[in-house]
Chains A and B, each alone.
Chain A
């Protein structure tokens, strides 16, 4: 069997149902096999970066490994941003790239790039297959590495001759990687210590991140939080890990976190970090982060423990397994005083909400939420102000219903990621909240959404500015708006030319009607251009390098 056939057979064995890709010279053999493989759906994107983000959106919202494919050279380099994005947010992706013939490697051949060299620092691992016989083992290992331990992207670079060579189809039952043995089970002694610390704490706080979602720990988290009466704050990546409508939920913490979540961090006497990595956007000034707290840090990646903050009780392990054990060792308890203190903060401050005849972004997102909350939705965002407004005002109740570029902050992520989310969840309503900066970064993927009749609901918070950068220029650079004013074409007209439905909302009172109409469309994407107040800021705002209690509130 040809190498390319073996590859496709193995992809089927790994349960791959869909590949997001773009053909080219160095993957012709694989595409030729795909031509006869109805079991695997191929989604043709319009730029390889879109393929990587789509695989990412698919993986985040389904929990499966996302697969993308590109040709050698520019095809592979176009994947780079998508891979870096997935790496920062620990999303399992297998990227298959074509490579020039092995005898042409290193000769600056046509469409040759050192794909494994380029992707080395932005992937969990990568492979260049030079011996065709290795192919089955490499594919098996790639999927295993991508999806186990702390998940992440893996690149498999396949030279053309490896795709063409006749090899035997084998399916390695076991993978043997001597240096890779993720720790899943937490150390019993450490878990006992953690249970003791929880029992002693007067003001405990759970700080949960994407690891809770990746490991499927939401139920265990819910049990622990409710049994031991511990308020929960989540990171951007942890949105959906704990139901935001629950009284114990404090919403997001950090730079644009809620007033009460940040207050709680500064005041808590025990911080239980689960699957979170003390990112600078979360901690603000590190020295003053959670100054009164003992810290328990639960993470599957030992390198995260002690990287930014030295915990008192480190626990290396899978969040779900560790929390399940921890729940058993913790006695039911209540912290009425602590809860009351938090409620006082909730009453003390509401994010400013100007009454305006104009369309305000906060209002727009709240209305989108009101009109879609009864539906089974997945919310995808791009990067910028709209992302923070969405994180603040579109609550999520369940894991894998939220996809947003956290670590890398990749503008342009949203549209292709929502394609991946919709392909992976055809029954759900996929809502993309984007901005006028972000949407144009990958607008060509609207063609993909139209081609595959994906009824994604796109709401663009259009302020004719690179809003977040403008906000920083306003707050930190004396309002000198250097190069942040965007001169946009009429979005509705643009997307209509693509074959999508386009609408424009300029007045507050027209929004509801536009949302209703958007929800009625079932056979193509819809974009609602929400022309919002231009100079609205995201608040609260902890300026970079400041402590979490130095929030700008109005």
Chain B
């Protein structure tokens, strides 16, 4: 089962390496990973999407807590949360098809952020399903390259992890 785990860590060098190394050596699977600063400059937030059963998840949480620089670990499973992912998709866009592509993007509330004579870049934000769907639709034009961020998430309501 897929779990989104949010990890608050001290903003120090090599802390991401510690987390990644832990997953590698204990044989846990990471579907995606996103890391960035929080409102507190001393604390960063790592959002991990992992798969595993309850036992593995419990071990992942406990092993993460053993890392000295890990402050808090939260599992969003069984809670109400908002999660988002961002993708940039560069597609072939000859002038005769541009309108069609723009319309498709519009439906997904995606934006066109770069244009040249034969291609454009679409920026889309949302759940992984939504991004998958747009990607699928853009395939027929020929995707030149694309990149997706890892998923990030926050719990709904006024509660916070810290």
A binding-site residues for B, Cβ under 8 Å = 116-117, 120-121, 124-125, 128, 130, 145, 177-180, 301-303, 305-307, 310
Q: Which of B56-64, B74-82, B84-92, B134-142 contacts A (4 or more CB under 8 A)?
A: B56-64
Shortest beta-carbon distance, B16 to chain A, in Å? 12
Chain B residue contacts of A179, Cβ below 8 A: 9-10, 65, 67-72
Which of A117, A178, A303 contacts B10 (CB under 8 A)? A178
Q: How far is the CB of A184 from chain B (nearest CB, A)?
A: 16
**A121: which B residues are within 8 A, CB to CB?**
21-22, 25
Q: Inside 8 A of B59's CB, which chain A residues have their CB?
A: 303, 306-307
Assuming the A-B contacts A120-B21, A177-B68, are A303 and B55 also in contact, with contact meaning beta carbons closer than 8 angstroms in the complex? no
B14 to chain A, nearest CB (A): 6
CB distance from B37 to the nearest CB of A (A): 16
- Give the shortest distance, in Å, between A252 (CB) and chain B (any CB): 28
Top 7 nearest A-B pairs (CB, nearest first) are: A303-B62, A179-B71, A125-B68, A179-B70, A180-B68, A178-B71, A302-B62
- In the bound complex, residues from chain B placing their C-beta under 8 Å from that of A128 are 13-14
How many pairs of A and B residues are in contact by the CB < 8 Å rule?
44
Q: Contact string, B6-37, partner A, CB cutoff 8 A, digits 1/0?
A: 00011001100110011001000000000000
A121 to B23, CA, bound (A): 11
A sample of 11 cross-chain residue pairs with beta-carbon separation below 8 angstroms, ordered by A number, consists of A116-B14, A117-B17, A120-B14, A121-B21, A121-B22, A125-B68, A178-B71, A179-B10, A179-B71, A301-B66, A310-B55
What residue of chain B has the Cβ atom nearest to residue A154's Cβ? B68
B95: shortest Cβ distance to chain A, in Å? 48
A313 to B5, CA, bound (A): 27
- Which of the residues A116, A130, A145, A303 comes within 8 Å of B68, measured between beta carbons? A145
Q: Which residues of B have CB within 8 Å of A302?
A: 62, 65
A542 to B59, CA, bound (A): 28
What A residues does B10 contact at CB under 8 A? 178-179
Task: Please tell me if the beta carbons of A124 and B13 are within 8 angstroms of each other in the complex.
Answer: no
A138 → B minimal CB distance (Å): 11
Beyond A120-B14, A179-B68, 12 extra complex contacts between A and B, CB < 8 Å: A116-B14, A117-B14, A120-B21, A125-B68, A128-B14, A130-B13, A179-B69, A179-B70, A180-B68, A303-B62, A306-B59, A306-B62
Closest to B64 in A: A303
With a cutoff of 8 Å between Cβ atoms, the chain A residues found around residue B72 in the complex are 179
Q: A120, A177, A301, A306: which contacts B58 (Cβ < 8 A)?
A: A306
Q: Considering the complex, give the chain B residue whose CB is closest to the CB of A120.
A: B21
Query: Considering only CB atoms, which chain A residue lies closest to B25 in the complex?
Result: A121
Q: Contacts A179-B67, A179-B69 given: A306-B18 contact, CB under 8 Å?
A: no
Determine the residue in chain A with the shortest Cβ distance to B67: A179
B63 CB to closest chain A CB (Å) equals: 5
Q: Which residues of B contact A177 (CB under 8 A)?
A: 68
- Determine the chain A residues whose CB is within 8 A of the CB of B22 once the complex forms: 121
CA A120 – CA B68 in complex, angstroms? 12
What is the chain A residue whose CB lies nearest that of B70?
A: A179
Residue of B nearest to A117 (CB): B17
Q: Provide the bound-state CA to CA distance between A117 and B58, in Å.
A: 26
A104 to B18, CA, bound (A): 23
Say how far B23's CB is from chain A's closest CB, in angstroms.
11
Which residue of chain B has its CB nearest to the CB of A126? B14
Q: Roughly how many angstroms separate A177 CA and B67 CA in the complex, as a whole number?
A: 11
Is the beta-carbon distance between A120 and B18 smaller than 8 angstroms?
yes
Which residue on chain A has the smallest CB distance to residue B15?
A: A179
Question: Which residues on the B side are within 8 Å of A145 (C-beta)?
Answer: 68
- Which A residues lie within 8 Å of B17 (CB)? 117, 120
Q: Is the CB of A124 within 8 A of B68?
A: yes
Q: B7: nearest residue on chain A (CB-CB)?
A: A179
Point out the residues of chain A lying under 8 angstroms from B70, CB to CB: 179
For A130, what are the chain B residues with a Cβ–Cβ distance below 8 Å?
Answer: 13
Distance in angstroms from B142 CB to nearest chain A CB is: 40
Question: In the complex, A178→B13 CA distance in Å?
Answer: 16
Complex interface: chain B residues within 8 A of A307 (CB)? 59
Please indicate the chain A residues that have their CB under 8 angstroms from the CB of B62 in the complex: 302-303, 305-306
Question: What residue in chain B is nearest A301 (Cβ atoms)?
Answer: B66
Residues of B within 8 A of A178 (CB): 10, 71
B44 to chain A, nearest CB (A): 12
CB distance from A445 to the nearest CB of B (A): 30
Q: How far is the CB of A134 from chain B (nearest CB, A)?
A: 11
Q: How far is the CA of A180 from the CA of B13 in the complex (A)?
A: 17
> Bound complex: CA of A180 vs CA of B12, how far in Å?
15
Please indicate the chain B residues that have their CB under 8 angstroms from the CB of A180 in the complex.
68
Q: How far is the CB of A228 from chain B (nearest CB, A)?
A: 30
In the complex, which of the residues B22, B58, B59 has the most CB atoms of chain A within 10 Å of its own CB atom? B58
Contacts of B25 in A (CB 8 A): 121
Q: Indicate which residue in A120, A303, A306 contacts B66 across the interface (CB closer than 8 Å).
A: A303
B18: which A residues are within 8 A, CB to CB?
120
Q: Within the assembled complex, what's the spacing in Å between the Cα atoms of A303 and B58?
A: 8
In whole angstroms, how far apart are the Cα atoms of A125 and B15 in the complex?
11
Least CB separation from B72: chain A residue: A179
- Complex CA distance for A90 and B26, rounded to whole angstroms: 18
Chain A hits for B14, CB < 8 A:
116-117, 120, 128
> When chains A and B are docked, how far (Å) is the Cα of A303 from the Cα of B25?
15
List residues of chain B with CB within 8 A of the CB of A120.
Answer: 14, 17-18, 21
Shortest CB-to-CB span from A122 to chain B, Å, is 10
Closest B residue by C-beta to A145: B68
In the complex, which residue of chain A has the Cβ closest to the Cβ of B60? Answer: A303
Say how far A552's CB is from chain B's closest CB, in angstroms. Answer: 31
Nearest to B14 among chain A residues (CB) is A116
Q: Are A306 and B55 within 8 A (Cβ)?
A: yes
